[in-house]
Structure 1
């Protein structure tokens, strides 16, 4: 599949670019998109880069009724030296195939998908913002397109990549957020689709987020769906706690997403010699650590924010203030190091960054 040619149709109507200071997340898109189609028995075909445009779907398309879809989120960075950098993109393509497997969708050729992305980036390179803290958000995704109302896996699919220039997640640096521990709703359970990056996981989280918004909290901290006591994720991010000098994060259990940023943080901490452990973490443990004065830091991790420090947790009416509501030392060091590696201002000792040829 790597030898497959990509047909390119240039967009003659260039979109107007938004000033970096006005960029919001995922509201403006580049001039082009990549599309490939799949048909059972024939495989992937018609690989093309075309002008960004609406899709045409049959009203009975499987995606509209049974939610057969997966996606990824990643970023491209344009550094001062003019080099376009991607951060561990092969991990995103690998995870996408894992999600596809869970949703009974066809596998993509990971190497070819990355080459298609590079070609799309070359065409729309001028859309990558250059101001500090900005980047080009990349959304590869796959949808089931077969016109069929029977409950079964689709026989046809489309794999697409769209891109959106985004501003800095934090306008004035990273600041701790307030988190509400969710005790009624459940995001996912082991055996379900929690480990896959699929639309339904996010749809089921919206109700709890509404409640958090009303009560003045930025995100929801999800607990396990069986015992409702073990921590899983925070919002749509993985979560870490620094307890008495040790950094701990919930172990992957089938309902927690295997985050690329999560993986990178664990590797970074080990590289620095900081104790880091993947295991079950209960809210009762967090409460006891707080009462004992041992809850040093807490933070969420993900592509959009990289690091999101937690300054306050509310659980069953109790308030836990983390590090006096201030950004912790480890949180700040991780944020500065990861963003530095991504933008090319800090050496990358791990080989995480993929540079596009100039």
Structure 2
């Protein structure tokens, strides 16, 4: 089947790029010229094509709209020091995408379609990669069920799409968060580890309530007791307590973040003591009160390294140490940024050159 794939390219008649202010890019609102589309039916992937970014038409009975079979990924492309397009750890996103697909009873996407298609799409739209420091080209692969059928069963047809958008920072300032102890994002045996659309839909209401109270995000706690920390809305969370980098383990209720893995790998390579273990809310609050917590931050593709300025628990606000004095998180942010853009050697094979 892979030998018969035809990566046809249809270029857009007139690019939109001249209309874009690349110094002012709100996250997720500006989209590049092209997208990749592949279709699944009769047990195989077919009709792989790169064409203009444009609307999609579908019937009201589209299965994904009714039964939630939809997954996605997020990764970024940058320019290296020679101006060449590079992508950070796309193989890890490919692997996680298919883990999500399996959990949601969807077909796996072949490596050739995901990786070759992604590379070819980035090459076609490489001029959309921002030149400004701190900016990137966000890449969104996703898949959804396309059966036109009302009935609770896995769809037999699917559509896989990749589109891109130039972006600036997801959070421009350190964030204010609260520990969520009423609502839950996921539970054991559920789909919390998958990057499924349903996870994000379920999180919106409690996040909206928190934002109405003046918070940027919530930090989710376990569904059974609300005593143990899991992750934040768009990122995994980490703490430096007594000089130790502490983070909850990636498991069935927590997304196995690729930026998370990158930060932990660099920390261990630097000789830092790292603990992936259950982290209780009580432990974090006590560490703050005793001035033993020196850093708290989120990590993710969109957020990269996002500093947490305040944490609220049961209506009590805790102000965290100044961001400027946070040695590890500031240093690891610069390290990852330098690796992505070629300022430092990529000794781990993380950077994929298009």
Which TM class, normalised by the smaller chain length? Answer: over 0.9
Which residue is equivalent to 1:84? Answer: 85
1:309-324 aligned within 5 A = 309-324=307-322
Contact 1:176 1:327 in 2 (8 A): no
SS for the counterpart of 2:23 is: helix
| Cα distance in structure 2, aligned partners of 1:327 and 1:119 | 42
1:242-281 aligned within 5 A = 242-281=240-279
SS for the counterpart of 1:221 is: strand
| Cα distance in structure 2, aligned partners of 1:162 and 1:112 | 14
| Cα distance in structure 2, aligned partners of 1:326 and 1:170 | 16
SS for the counterpart of 1:155 is: coil
Q: 1:203 aligns with which of 201, 204, 228?
A: 201
Which residue is equivalent to 1:348? Answer: 346
User: Shift in Å at residue 287 of structure 1?
Assistant: 1.4
Contact 2:234 2:302 in 1 (8 A): no
Contact 2:64 2:144 in 1 (8 A): yes
| Cα distance in structure 2, aligned partners of 1:327 and 1:309 | 12
Deviations 1:230-286 (A, max 9, x none): 000012210001111111100122010000000101100000000011100010111
Gaps of 5+ in 2: none
1:92-171 aligned within 5 A = 92-169=93-170
SS for the counterpart of 1:90 is: helix
SS for the counterpart of 1:205 is: helix
User: Shift in Å at residue 26 of structure 1?
Assistant: 1.2
| Cα distance in structure 1, aligned partners of 2:33 and 2:255 | 31
User: Shift in Å at residue 310 of structure 1?
Assistant: 1.1
Which residue is equivalent to 2:39? Answer: 37
Contact 2:6 2:47 in 1 (8 A): no
| Cα distance in structure 2, aligned partners of 1:166 and 1:5 | 30
| Cα distance in structure 2, aligned partners of 1:342 and 1:179 | 28
How many residue pairs match? The answer is: 352
Provide the alpha-carbon RMSD of the alignment.
1.4
Deviations 1:29-57 (A, max 9, x none): 1111100100133x101111111111111
SS for the counterpart of 2:123 is: helix
Any runs of at least 4 consecutive aligned residues in structure 1 with deviations exceeding 6 A, and if so which?
none
SS for the counterpart of 1:323 is: coil
Deviations 1:177-207 (A, max 9, x none): 2111111111111211110001111111111
Contact 2:234 2:303 in 1 (8 A): no
| Cα distance in structure 1, aligned partners of 2:105 and 2:115 | 22
User: Shift in Å at residue 292 of structure 1?
Assistant: 2.1
Taking structure 1 as reference, are residues 297 and 233 closer, same or farther at Cα in structure 2, changes over 3 Å only?
A: same
Range moving further from structure 2, 84-93 or 292-301 = 292-301
Contact 2:72 2:195 in 1 (8 A): yes
| Cα distance in structure 1, aligned partners of 2:197 and 2:38 | 20
TM-score w.r.t. length of structure 2: 0.96
Gaps of 5+ in 1: none
| Cα distance in structure 1, aligned partners of 2:236 and 2:305 | 10
Q: 2:175 aligns with which of 177, 183, 192?
A: 177
Contact 2:71 2:97 in 1 (8 A): yes
